[in-house]
Amino acid sequence: MWSKVAHARPDWGRARAALRTALWDGLAPQRCLVCGAFGAALHEACTSALPAAGGRRCDRCWAPAVRLEAGTCARCALAPPAFAALRTPFVYAGAARAAVLEAKFAGRSALLGPLGVAAARAVPRGWAVEAVAWVPLHGRRRRTRGYDQAGLLARAVAAELGVPLVGVLRRTRGTAPQARLDAERRRANVVGAFAAERVGGGVLLVDDVTTTGSTLDAAARALLAAGAAQVFALAVARED
Ligand SMILES: [Zn+2]
Ligand SMILES: [Zn+2]
């Protein structure tokens, strides 16, 4: 009887540690990545200082292009991606790169809200978006990080656009980090790596960064196979 009671005693040491962590996370002063002022990880107004993805770009894959035929680059004319179009407000450089890296690897998830709002504002008016989905991390990597950065971005995007957030995508297998691979290997690395639950209408697919677009392409294929009428792609930054 006694041993049973002793066993059921709460672990106050651990509870106190958890509370301390929660309080510290909540109370630690946030400092804006751009202007350095306290009060926010990144002010919404300060996102205008991040390097914009400007210049002539392909309507379809958002690659910078000198020559465009009917709005699209030569590569898209030959082999268009599965998504209808891609937009990113920023290029992956300077403060945009720093923000994404801090959010991803330094645990500063508070950066993802303002970055998501900035991304949502890059969505063209003509896109018929009925739901927002995101490129998920593989379970193992999500558990290590404690959150899924593209999911938090997508949540901010969905709120800004006023459409539902749908967690319909999942990874069917772990993949090597894309950053270490060349274009051809990136494609092979993610082919068939996603599966989606039944979905319909126009879906906006969100990720943090895109380079060759092969991850967005593979995830868009899964959404189309699951019934999406059209998939539009959105990321915070494009690595040109
Ligand atoms: Zn600021
Ligand atoms: Zn293109």
> In the chain, what are the domain boundaries?
42-238
Give pLDDT tens digits for 154-170. Answer: 999 999 999 999 999 99
**Number of helices and strands in the chain (H, E):** 9, 7
Pick the residue with more confidence: 5 or 213? 213
CATH class for domain 42-238?
A: alpha beta
pLDDT of 12 strictly over 70: no
The ligand minimizing its distance to the Cα of 34 is: 1
Locate all alpha helices (DSSP H) within the chain, ordered by sequence.
2-8, 12-27, 74-78, 94-105, 112-120, 139-145, 149-161, 183-190, 214-225
Measuring CA to CA, which residue among 214, 234, 169 is closest to residue 196? 169
pLDDT at 192 (0 to 100): 86
The reported pLDDT for the residue numbered 138 is: 83
Mean of all residue pLDDT scores within the chain: 89
**Closest-lying ligand to the alpha carbon of 38?**
1
β-bridge partners, 233: 86, 205
Distances (CA, A) of 158 to 42, 64, 201: 19, 27, 15
List Cβ neighbours of 174 (8 Å cut-off, separation of 6 or more). 138, 140, 141
65 Cα distance to chain centroid: 24
- Rounded to the nearest angstrom, the distance between the alpha carbon of 21 and the centre of ligand 1 is 26
Ligand nearest to the backbone CA of 67: 2
pLDDT by residue (tens digit) across 180-209?
Answer: 788 888 888 888 899 999 999 999 999 999
Q: What is the pLDDT of residue 27?
A: 59
Q: How far is the CA of 77 from the centre of ligand 1 (A)?
A: 41
